[in-house]
Amino acid sequence: MRAHEPLNRLILQERLRRLGAVGVAAAIVALLALGVLCAGVLPQWQAIRELRGNEADARLQLQRVRRGELKIATQPEQQALDSLRQQLPGQPQASALIERLYHLASAEHISLAHGEYALGIDPKTQLARYQIVLPVHGSYLQIRGFVGGLLKQLPTLVLEDLELQRKRIGDSELDARLHMTLYLSRS
């Protein structure tokens, strides 16, 4: 084998001389281009093929979700909110809940003036919320008993603000203004 080495070297030198300096430079550039192709372009091409495959899989899953064959896994916050929605009274029950509010006032022997009621949708949770501003007249103990009864019997009611006012220092009767929100599911 060693006897052929000088011959191979001579053949290589002869071919390089025939190519000339320009030919050798072109061969080197071609080898560099091949190296760049192998090192840079091929991995990118392979990544693009993988992304296209993932896109096709995502399209198939989306079609299955639309047909109802596949359910989307929800986040824990969404699951908690869905569970809360199921436990809340429905929006159609709002009238009955307001009636309960008036019965509690009657049980405490306090008088209720006409309140302000506004139904809206909470933008974050998409729950129905019934905002209530209710003027109340009675003694401190009666108003306290009324508020306590509300919070016990209507667990989805939130007392947001309570304003108490006494006309004169010696009066036993108070005028109160309750700001409350009653949360309901939209079903």
For the chain, domain boundaries: 1-72, 81-184
pLDDT grade for 72, boundaries at 50, 70 and 90: low
Reply yes or no on whether the pLDDT at 32 is more than 90.
no
Give the mean pLDDT of 28-43: 78
Distance of alpha carbon 169 from alpha carbon 32, whole angstroms: 97
The pLDDT, as a whole number, for residue 53 is 84
Give the mean pLDDT of 166-184: 87
Phi-psi region of 176 (alpha: psi -120 to 50; beta: other; left: phi over 0): beta
Per the document, the length of the chain is 187
CA distances from 81 to 49, 133, 183 (A): 39, 26, 13
Residues 6+ apart with CB under 8 A from 78: none
Of the two residues 39 and 49, the one the predictor is more confident about is 49
pLDDT grade for 84, boundaries at 50, 70 and 90: low
Give the mean pLDDT of 88-96: 74
Fold of the CATH domain 81-184: Alpha-Beta Plaits (3.30.70)
Reply yes or no on whether the pLDDT at 171 is more than 70.
yes
Phi, psi of 85 (to 5 degrees): -60, -40
- Chain-centroid distance of CA 131 in Å reads 24
Reply yes or no on whether the pLDDT at 186 is more than 70.
yes
- pLDDT averaged over the chain? 81
pLDDT grade for 66, boundaries at 50, 70 and 90: confident
